[in-house]
Chains A and B, each alone.
Chain A
Amino acid sequence: MKLKNILLTILFLAIPYSLIPNPSHAQQVSLSLSPPLLELFIKPGKAIMVAYKLDNLGDPTFLNLKVLPFEAKDNLGNIRIKPEFEGPVRFSLDNADLTLDQPFFLKTNDSQQILLRIRIPENITDGDYYYSLLAETIPPTSSEGIGSARAKATIGSNILVTISNSGNIDIKPKIALFSTRGRLFDSSDKIPVVLTVVNKGKNMMKPEGQISLKGNFGETIKYDIISKNILAESERMIEATPSAIIDCENLRTEQKCLFPTSLILSGFFIGKYNLSTEIRFGENSPTIFGSTIFYAFPFKIMSGIILASLIIVFIVSRHSREDGNPD
């Protein structure tokens, strides 16, 4: 009898969860991973360990770590992560409690140090290999009975590995495009400049230098090139510190916002202008040059003056005719 009462009490307390409505609530994910980029120049047979910091600034979640190779997707610095691991570089974790591809739990506002060991086997051919360290959330279990999608958040940090046994690096830089979009501008136009550099070598390179603007009277302005990596056998649009920025947030479909630019020149231009660039890749490395020209005239102002003049001439001539005709 006593046992029966206990069982009934347990049964009563263990009311099936299915009777309780499942409240749908927002589950936020917010992850931070640093450093965001690692550049490693290493000899075959060597290994290093790099410490990363992964922060969970959202709700508690299970996370999974993995490393996948990537390649340049376009000339704008975007990447395409390959679905399967490839390449000679070996990755593992030095953490006692973590391994790659094994989920672990991270509480809200908690951090996890990731000790990534990168090992290069012996007798590896010189060359570049590019990878991303990825931390991905494990999606929550689905709610039955309704249509739903679940989002998985993945944050990455890129690893650029240059393997060189001799210490020599092979780069072949060349200017693929140095141009303004158009040759003739109105004096008040913002002038977009595009500079694309191709690297046909087997190792990545880092450009340094300036874009110079020279006017009719010899006045010169220099814009420093931002030193971003150009991967092996790829090309990249190089940016320079701008003199102007076009706000494309509300002008996304306008022509000037559809194409990325290296530099936007701002000012009041009249006449012929010379643009030149000089790009270096380190001491004693090749320096490459490019130049182009553009013209700017005050078309809008002159059109306004001409239109106003025509209107005045028309009014004056009509007034003269009316004065000459007493009828």
Chain B
Amino acid sequence: MKKKLLILLFLTIPYSLIPNPSLAVPMDSSRFKIESANVEIAGGNKSSTSYKLADTVGQLAAGQYSSTGYVVKAGFQYLHSIIPFRFSISDINIAFGTLVPSTPSTATTNLTVYFGGAGQYQVTAIEEGPLKTQSLNVIPDTSCDGGANTCNESLAKVWSSSSAYGFGYGMSGNDIPADFIDGTYYRPFPDRTSAESPATVMTSINVGKNRSSTVTFKTNISSIQPAGSYQTIINFVATPSY
């Protein structure tokens, strides 16, 4: 029995006893000066009048050329794809209809990104001000259910209470932030008029050719919300990486 216990003990050696062998060895000097000819940009031709072209297979307008005083590379040289970068929004009119106090209204639209190969991309979102009328009555941005479920521009939380008022969005689908756990999780949009930074709503370091997500816009008003036509603009910006 003692032997068995010893064997068991031996097999369950705590992880912490094994040393952490991180051995990154930087071998840089305090300052490197590299001739442009050596940085794979056809730099040796910087002053020549010759013309070079190194197409990336299948990419539209991709190529590299050099001429007097400049070198240009177009497209991702490591991608071999005929699929250009493309961004779609299925419906740009997000109508909530007539808002009824304490009855949440939702509307959805789909975002789709097409990009070939291992293309990396991001889609960000920002509102051009809160939902408001021309007379400047405002539906404030949501803070979700409040308490432990207080959300912000970078953290989604549960918003299911009919007495929690505001305007926000939830997400489902491909490449969305991990904090949108299910359909009850929402965030407020960052507000450009408050100098807030856009929120990343889709991103991937290795995207396929048809990445799609659904944005669910939600608003809920109280009984004292003044009547009127509440409007705002949400700007979705899709950019490839560098």
Contact = CB atoms under 8 A, between A and B. Distances in A.
B214 interface: no
Contacts, number: 346
Contacts of A144: 229
A131 to B, nearest CB: 11
B39 A285 contact: yes
B178 A257 contact: yes
Nearest to B61: A35
Interface centre among A41, A136, A151 (most CB of B within 10 A): A151
A34 B85 contact: yes
Given A39-B41, A150-B231, A173-B32, 4 more contacts: A35-B75, A157-B239, A177-B24, A288-B26
Given A146-B95, A148-B93, A175-B26, A168 B61 contact: no
Contacts of A151: 89, 91-94, 109, 233-236
B156 to A, nearest CB: 12
Contact of A57 (B39, B88, B124, B241): B88
A41 B71 contact: yes
B34 to A, nearest CB: 5
Contact of B84 (A32, A152, A260): A32
Interface string A1-45: 000000000000000000000001111111111111111111101
Interface stretch (B115-123, B143-151, B158-166): B115-123
A219 interface: no
A174 B26 contact: yes
Contacts of B239: 70, 79, 81, 132, 155-158
A252 interface: yes
B16 to A, nearest CB: 10
A28 B240 contact: no
A184 B27 contact: no
A63 interface: no
